[in-house]
Structures are given as C-alpha cells and as structure tokens.
Amino acid sequence: MTGPEKKQLLENIFGGDELNSLREASLARGSKEMRRRRHRVWMGRIVVTALPVVLLAVLITHPWIQPLRPAPAPIGAAHAANVEHKVEYITADQLFALFPNRPMALVGKPGQQRLIFLDNQPGPENQ
C-alpha cells in the first residue's frame, strides 16, 4: 500500500462528517447502556440486601405468625391439668328428677339434646 492509499484509507476510517456523527451516536448509546447496567447492578444489590430485612420484619409483625414464647397458662390451669375429671352421665328421668314441678322437655337428636324449660321461671343458668 502506498502513502496516498494509506492516507485515503485513514480518512475513510477516521474522517468524514457522517462517520463522526455515527461515532458520536455509538458512543452515546454505549454510555447510556453502561449506565443502565450499572443502575441494574446497584438495584439488584439493594434488593438482595433489603429483602431479608423486609421479610423478617413482616414475619415478626404479622398476626398469623405464632409467638415464639408460649402464652402463659391461666391461674389454676396447672392444677386442673393434674386433676383427673370424670364425667357422669345421667338418664333423662334422673335429669327431670333434678327439677321437680317444672314443665320441661329434651329436644334434639340423642347425644345432642338440649333441656328446654316450658315455663317462664328462670332456669338454673340464669339464677
């Protein structure tokens, strides 16, 4: 390659208004893309750092999370846990005998019956 050919080639590569505008546009686009990537990297770091903190705060403050400590037992519950309770079942006749001279009825399926007083006097639960 001769001197004038080299000069012409270099002018074609580095010179010319249309090439300058192409280079400037390419440089601007590359810079913009690098800023976007840097921004995405920073946002990713922020999310990775903040996500565990936010999740922990939600888990601690949310009502559906059970407390770490068991609720204190009510007074007397420890005693009640040690005492064995026995339930005595009585017949309908024995039940009616507990409330003489009061009109009443057992209503419902066996095992799910309710005692209904048919007069206007208060029942045992209201006395």
pLDDT in tens, 86-99: 778 888 888 889 88
Q: Pick out the chain residues at pLDDT < 50.
A: none
Spatial contact of 114 and 95, defined as CB atoms under 8 Å apart: no
- What was the pLDDT predicted at 47? 92
What tokens does 84 get? 């064995």
- What was the pLDDT predicted at 40? 95
pTM given for the model: 0.34
Domain boundaries in the chain? 3-61, 88-121
- What was the pLDDT predicted at 45? 94
Tell me, rounded to whole angstroms, the distance of Cα 42 from its chain centroid.
28
- What was the pLDDT predicted at 51? 92
